[in-house]
Amino acid sequence: EDNLNSLREAMGVLQHHDAITGTEKQHVAADYARLLNRGFNQCSTATKTALNKLANNDTNNSSTAVEYQQCQFNISECTVSENENSFVVTIYNPLSRPVNNYVRLPVLHDNYEVHDPEGKKIATETISLPKAILNIPGRDSKATQEILFLAENLPPLGFKTYYVSKTEGVVSNKTHQEFQANPNKNS
């Protein structure tokens, strides 16, 4: 309850019409951002516990409990995907019907492979980030690329976990045509 209250309180404060419409003073806008960020962080303890419960992991045992983390994908920044050679991505579907979802993860290199929950290697692509993202003030990331894959058929109100790992060497069988300036119309 304590971990949820911080975000509940922030959401309570942010019902104020100034927060809805953006008619607050600058220092109040900064304070709203602070309250929300604190709420997100404290709530993440609750989501970690909930996900571990759904995955039948023993949360009392540190060797089996998974340290789920969330990232600021809006600015393409993620400590886990940028720093780990292998990591897992768990995608939760909040809708009551199955959906497909494209996943984008910021990374430093272009040689990754992704396995679905059954261990089958799935199609991935590595795409360079737009320059405008790299220059966003406050972004603290070395990632210059994103890996993209399709999480298919996510169960209603359920999740799937994908295993991502860095491979040795350079990916040789690229299936895409890299960014090309002013491409010829006949290409």
Q: Rule CB under 8 A: which of 22-41 touch other proteins?
A: 22-26, 29-30
Round to whole Å and give the CA distance between 123 and 120: 10
Token pair for 168? 């040795």
Taken as a whole, the chain contains a residue count of 187
**Minimum Å distance from CB 6 to other proteins?**
18
Looking at 2, 15, 123, 169, which residue binds other proteins (CB under 8 A)?
Answer: 123
Q: How many CA atoms lie within 13 A of 159 on its CB side?
A: 15
Q: List the interface residues with other proteins, window 136-155 (CB under 8 A).
A: 136-138, 148-151, 154
CA distance 169 to 147: 16
CB of 163 to other proteins, least distance (A): 5
Q: Which segment (6-14, 34-42, 60-68) binds other proteins by CB under 8 A?
A: 60-68
Nearer to other proteins, 132 or 170 (CB): 132
Total number of residues that touch other proteins (CB under 8 A): 71
Q: What part of residues 83-112 is at the interface with other proteins (CB under 8 A)?
A: 84-95, 99-103, 105
**Contacts of 154 by beta carbon, 8 Å cutoff, 6+ apart:** 91, 92, 93, 98, 99, 100, 101, 160
